[in-house]
Amino acid sequence: MELTGTTIEDTKAVLVSVLGIEDRAASIGAGTELLGSLPELDSMAVLELVAALEEKFGITIDDDDVTADAFETLGTLAALVDEKQS
């Protein structure tokens, strides 16, 4: 299944909202690194982000899915969301 631009944009919207980084939204794309690069994305923010993604997309993200690989970039996070929707 190919990742859609809509999934990336919707995932980005949730990320930006949860982290409160609207001022930097324009500079965030599929290849933008998340963990270790966005200081706002600490462990508590990851939990908030997971809950917000689950609510927005009607999915369940298991604890085992919350990995450094899944949260490496916006694209990898959107791919996780896309996978959970299928």
DSSP annotation string for 49-83: HHHHHHHHHT----GGG--TTTTSBHHHHHHHHHH
Do 80 and 6 touch, CB atoms closer than 8 A?
no
pLDDT in tens, 15-48: 999 999 999 999 999 999 999 999 999 999 999 9
- Domains in the chain (CATH in brackets) are 5-85 (1.10.1200.10)
pLDDT at position 4 over 80: no
- Under 8 Å CB-to-CB from 51, ≥6 apart: which residues? none
pLDDT band at 3 (very low <50, low <70, confident <90, very high): low
